[in-house]
Chains A and B, each alone.
Chain A
């Protein structure tokens, strides 16, 4: 078991990095090697801080959903972070690149739930029946850890590197698109900078949502009606440059834009 004092110190370090916009060193060295629960305990401390500060919990994000990224980090499972109302950016609204530490963008499908998912072992059918609709989205991730030098414990402790999100304005029902086959392209200045398809997210993005639903019950924050779930990247992450606009289009789901103000 990782040391409780170390866990709260790690949380303080990350919070300070977040507040001061000065990235910190990795926190993994402060936790027992491979102790995932301790990393989530760090995350939870800072989540409670945000909730106490008045932020509203609006959903979750799933990370590490691509086989390639899992291989890079030497893990065999995804992770999750919490999404708050103050992270939401309207489609195309400019954000200062400095609003996020070391920003990167990825294109993914966001699902919006209309039912609670409180069962201990939710089936795919339970999950599909709980989803109201889907939208194209861009996750703007950032790392509070210097140079993105992260392992799975670092990113979990850092709220799965969540920062901001742009959810597209189109509401699409599950029978209107092919979640596995749908193409994803992110364009910057007319060039495709990241391409992929639904299958890149754990074989099908719904597989990721099912994993999350079970994990959230286990960790005491079950998914409920109205929650949004950013299900995981469909193509490689792209480093953000100030002044640039990144547009994601997902076949059958419409589009979303993340626009960054010049420096």
Chain B
């Protein structure tokens, strides 16, 4: 069976590298959620083998509405590498992606590792700083359609992330207004409260969830807490900015 998962991981990695859409992996043969995380690990392993290194993880399905919509009972997570990092104020090329979308988020930077189930307070005491962030999600599947197993195998759709200025996180950030703008016009409006009622809960959940697969959150890692609004489709030439109350803003451009 190991070979089959290696093949699926290679298929996903290939699609991500070339920016090509593929059929859902689960269409050929079904696999379980734990197996989906195995495929994810193997496919990210191919990136690491090419010299990329792990810089953190991302949380997905962090709103009740999304969990219900997908018919699952927990969040999902994916792995972040330095190769996915887009510089604040940087530019991406539309052609490198399949059908990219963007979500406004906040990110945490850890100063200490977090292992296993932790309380929100324990999670926050490991935080060095937080920042406004944007995640570029890009399902490698045709028409952005997938089962939960498919999306987990596909690294929870993660393909890029942009992190703004790091700020101290020692204040109540459970309800910070968020505005995502395209070319200076608001396209999504929300609040950090949309992330599980408080994004710190997402950080605690991240520690619990990776432990199920023998991992821990490492000092120096960046944790993307999850989308605060619906995702917006990117288009060539667009300039994207996410402003978060009290945290400042972060942005990037898509080349024309």
**A residues with CB within 8 A of B:** 67, 178, 180-185, 187, 190-192, 195-200, 203, 235, 249-251
Contacts and interface: CB of A to CB of B under 8 A. Distances in A.
Contacts of B254: none
Residues of B contacting A: mostly: mixed
A183 B197 contact: no
Contact of A178 (B174, B191, B197, B245): B245
B191 A187 contact: no
Given A192-B197, A250-B175, 20 more contacts: A180-B179, A181-B177, A181-B243, A181-B244, A183-B176, A183-B177, A185-B197, A187-B193, A191-B197, A192-B63, A195-B190, A195-B194, A196-B191, A197-B179, A197-B191, A199-B177, A199-B189, A200-B189, A235-B191, A251-B175
Contacts of B191: 183-185, 192, 195-197, 235, 251
Contact of A192 (B177, B194, B244): B194
Interface string B190-217: 1111100100000000000000000000
A187 B245 contact: no
Interface in B237-252: 243-246
A198 B194 contact: no
A178 to B, nearest CB: 6
A185 B175 contact: yes
A187 B197 contact: yes
Contacts, number: 77
A182 B245 contact: yes
A198 B191 CA distance: 10
Nearest to B187: A67
A203 B197 CA distance: 24
Contacts of B165: none
A213 to B, nearest CB: 24
Interface residues of B, number: 21
Interface string B38-80: 0000000000000000000000000110000000000000000
A72 to B, nearest CB: 16
Given A187-B197, A197-B189, A251 B64 contact: no
A244 to B, nearest CB: 16
Given A196-B191, A199-B189, A182 B177 contact: yes
B197 A196 contact: no
A190 B198 CA distance: 11
A235 B179 CA distance: 12
Given A181-B243, A251-B245, A197 B197 contact: no
Interface in B67-121: none
B243 A185 contact: no
Contacts of A203: 186
B178 interface: yes
A24 to B, nearest CB: 33
The 9 closest A-B pairs by CB, nearest first: A197-B177, A183-B191, A185-B193, A183-B177, A181-B245, A183-B175, A195-B191, A195-B194, A181-B177
Given A183-B177, A185-B175, A197 B245 contact: yes
23 contacts: A178-B245, A181-B176, A181-B243, A181-B246, A182-B245, A183-B176, A183-B192, A184-B191, A187-B193, A191-B197, A192-B63, A195-B193, A195-B194, A196-B190, A197-B177, A197-B178, A197-B179, A197-B245, A199-B177, A199-B186, A235-B191, A251-B175, A251-B191
